[in-house]
Amino acid sequence: MLIYVNGFIKCGAPLVPFFSHKRLSFFTKPTPSSYSLASIPRDRLYFNNNLRYSSKSIQVVESSVIDMGAKEEKADNVALSSYDDAMDALSTLISRRRGDPPTVGSRDKLEQVVSYLKILGLEDKIKELKVIHVAGTKGKGSTCVFCEAILRNCGFRTGLFTSPHLMDVRERFRIDGLDISEEKFLQYFWECWKLLKEKAIDGVIMPPLFQFLTVLAFKIFVSEKVDVAVIEVGLGGKLDSTNVIQKPVVCGIASLGMDHMDILGHTLADIAYHKAGIFKPQIPAFTVPQLSEAMEVLQETATNLKVPLEVIAPLDLKKLDGIALGLSGDHQLVNAGLAVSLSRCWLQRTGNWDKIFPNGSNETDMPVAFVRGLATARLHGRAQVVHDLVSDQQDSSGDLIFYLDGAHSPESMEACGRWFSSAVRGNKGLSTGLNGYIRHEEFGRDFNRVSKQILLFNCMEVRDPQVLLPKLVSTCASSGTHFSRALFVPTMSTYNKVISGASAIPIDTRRKDLTWQFRLQKLWERSIQGTDTALDHTLNPDGVTSLPPHDFLCGDAPHCGGPAGTHITSSAVMPSLPLTINWLRDCVRRNPSLKLEVLVTGSLHLVGDVLRLLKR
C-alpha cells in the first residue's frame, strides 16, 4: 500500500510516483510543435522541500476589528499591501452564509457580471478565451482538473478556475498547473478591486464574493495569455456567474444528483434544467450516463439549441496500460472518460489535434500526453491519503493515517465509502496515485498493528445527516469495513471571513456551540445501536466539552456498522478540531501497537481545516 506523506505537493512540480509494472515517458517543457522525452526510472520517488513540515505550536486567534479604510490605503501601493489585507477586503464581499435563505440567481445578476467585465475592460477580451465549461453535481471539479492536466501535457498554457478552495483562495486559480503566485494574485486582485471601488462611488454595487472571484479569474487568464481556460461552474449553471461565457469551445455535464435543492429545485429534472443552462447553440457538449429523469432534460435542451450532445462511457482502464489515475476511486473513471472527450474535442475544434498528433492518432487511441495528464492530475481533499508525520517522529509511536474526502451528498458519500473501504484494504489499484505517495515499508517500521477505522465527521446544517451517515456506514459495511469510533467535531472555518493558508489557527472553544455535533452523535448512535443511547455530554468546570480518555479508541465497543453486542457508546463530540488532531496524535503515541485510519468527510470545509492543521 502506498501512503501520502504529510506534506503538500506543489501542483505541476515534477514529482513522480511508483510505477510497479510500467515505465512512462514524461514530457519536459512540452510545446505544441515539439517534445523532449525523459524516461522515468522504476520505483523511484522524487521529493521537494514542501513535502515535510515541522510541528508548530498552535496559535490562538484574538478577535480584532478590521479597519478597511487603513487596509485600502495600504493597498494603493500593491508592493506594501499584505496578503491578509487582500483577504480582509475579500471578506467584505461575503453577502450570504450557508443556511441563510437562498437567493436564486437571475439574468439581472448575469448582467451585473457583464457590467463588471466592462469596467475591467474584459468584455471583449474574454471572447478570445478558448474555454472548456463544466457543470455537474459531483465530479465536475475532478473533470476540470483532468482536462487541465491533459492539455498542459499536450504543451498548452492552461488556466483553471475551480471552487471552493480548501486552504487558500489562490487554489481556485491555477496557471500551468500551479496555484497562482501570491505576488501575481495581489497584482490582479488590487487592479480589479480599485477599478470596481472607483465605480462604486458612482453607485455601482460591489460584486458578491463569487462574482468577484469569477471576474478575477477572467482577468488572470486574459492577462496571463492562457491557451485554454477550464472553467468549473460554481453552482447550478444557467444563472451561475461563469455563464457569461457565450461561446465556449466545448461544454461538459458531470454526474447529476440531489444537491443544493434549496436553490436548484427538489427534483432531478429541476437540477438538470439548471445544469443544462450552460449549453450554447451548436456548441458540442458531452455528459456521462445519467438517470433518465435528468437525461431527458439534457437531451431536450440540447435538441432545442441544436447542440450535439454525446454520452460518454467511463474510461476503460486498459487504455492506461497499467498506469493509475492521479485521482483515486472507481468513480474517477467516469470523470476521466468525460475529461478525455472534452480535451479531444477542444484540440479538434481549435485546430490543434493534427498539430499535436501529426501521425494520425485515431479516436480510439490514448495519446501518451493524455495518459500523463490523467496520471499526474491532483485535487486536494478528494480521495486524498495523508500519513501524519508528526505522530511518526518517535519509533515507539503508533500509526496515524488520514483519508480525506469532501463528500457531502448521498451519491458522493457512497463513492467515498467505496474508496475508503478499498484504500484501507490496501487495494493497490486505488493507492498508486500521485502527490507524494510512498511505500509503507520505506518507513522501516513494524506494521503488525491493530488497525482501527475512525470516522471524523461534520456536515453543514442544511445537509441531511439522517441520509448521509447511514449511506456511508452501509456502503463501508457492505465491503467489510466497520468504524470502531465516530468523532463529531465543529469546523474551524468561519463564513464571514476569507482566510489564507498561513492564518493563525483558533483553539478557544469556550463559546463554541456544539448543539449540531451532539445531534449528529445522537443520530449516529441510533443508527448503530438501533435505539436511542444515553450520551454523556461531559463538560469541564469552564463549560467546555471534555476530550475522551485516550483509551477510548482502544476499548471493545461494537464495530460501527457491524454486529452490536452491547450498548456501548461508540462516538464522541469533540470540542474543537485542533484539539482533536492533537488528541489523535497522543492516542497513537501512547499505544505503539495502534494504527488509526481516520476518514475525514461530510464537508469540504472540514477537510480543508484538517489539511491546514496537518500542514503545520
Domain harbouring 313, CATH code: 3.40.1190.10
CA angle 601, 607, 611 (to 5 degrees): 140
Same domain, 521 and 440: yes
Contact 402, 581 (CB under 8 A): no
Enter the C-alpha cell of residue 255.
454526474
Look at residue 322 and tell me if it is in a domain. Answer: yes
Domain shared by 392 and 370, yes or no: no
- Evaluate whether residue 18 is within a structural domain: no
Are 368 and 415 within one domain? no
Q: How is residue 184 written as a grid cell?
A: 501575481
* 336, 461: one domain: no
User: Which of these three, 320, 344, 374, is where a domain ends?
Assistant: 374
Report H helices in 276-431: 292-304, 332-349, 353-356, 368-376, 410-424, 428-431
The alpha-helical segments, DSSP class H, found in 479-603 are 515-529, 577-590
Check pLDDT > 60 for residue 443.
no
Pair 450, 548 in one domain: yes
What confidence tens digit (pLDDT) does each residue in 19-46 have? 333 434 444 444 443 333 333 333 333 3
Detail the residues annotated as belonging to a binding site for ATP: 382, 405
> Do residue 370 and residue 390 come from a single domain?
no
- pTM listed for this prediction: 0.81
Looking at the structure, tell me whether residues 389 and 271 fall in a common domain: no
Q: Is residue 445 part of a domain?
A: yes
**94-122 pLDDT, tens digit each:** 876 554 544 545 668 899 999 999 999 99
> For residues 8 and 501, is the Cβ–Cβ distance under 8 A?
no
Binding residues for Mg(2+), as ranges, are 163, 232, 260
In a domain, 84, yes or no: yes
Reading phi first (left if > 0) and then psi (alpha if -120 to 50, else beta), residue 206 is in beta
Say yes or no: 428 and 360 in one domain.
no
d(CA 13, CA 430) in angstroms, rounded, equals 22
Range of the domain at 356: 66-374
Distance between CA atoms of residues 503 and 166, nearest Å: 13
Q: Which of 3-17, 56-70, 102-116, 188-202 has the highest mean pLDDT?
A: 188-202
**Does 15 map to a domain?**
no
Per-residue model confidence as pLDDT tens digits over 347-391: 999 999 998 888 766 666 799 999 999 999 999 999 999 999 766
- Note whether residue 91 is domain-resident: yes
> Is the separation of the CB atoms in 334 and 139 below 8 Å?
yes
- Give the pLDDT confidence of 122-152 residue by residue, as tens digits: 999 999 999 999 999 999 999 999 999 999 9
d(C-alpha 336, C-alpha 198), whole Å = 44
Amino acid in position 305 = L
Residue where one domain finishes, among candidates 374, 409, 433? 374
331 & 447 share domain: no
Same domain for 309 and 215: yes
**Residue stretches of the annotated binding site:** 163, 232, 260, 382, 405
Domain end position, chosen among 315, 347, 374: 374
List the grid coordinates of 209. 464574493
Which stretches within 33-67 are classed as H helix? none
**What is the rounded distance in angstroms from the CA atom of residue 515 to the CA atom of residue 602?**
17
The rounded distance, in Å, linking the Cα atoms of 453 and 33 is 50
CATH number at residue 472: 3.90.190.20
Q: Residue 252 has what pLDDT?
A: 99
243 and 346 housed in the same domain: yes
**Helical H segments across 404-563, by residue range:** 410-424, 428-431, 465-478, 515-529
Task: State the pLDDT at residue 527.
Answer: 81
For residue 21, is it within any domain?
no
Structural domains in the chain (count): 2
Residue 35, domain member (yes or no): no
- Checking DSSP bridges between strand 399-404 and strand 384-387, what pairing results, if any? antiparallel
Same structural domain, 250 and 180: yes
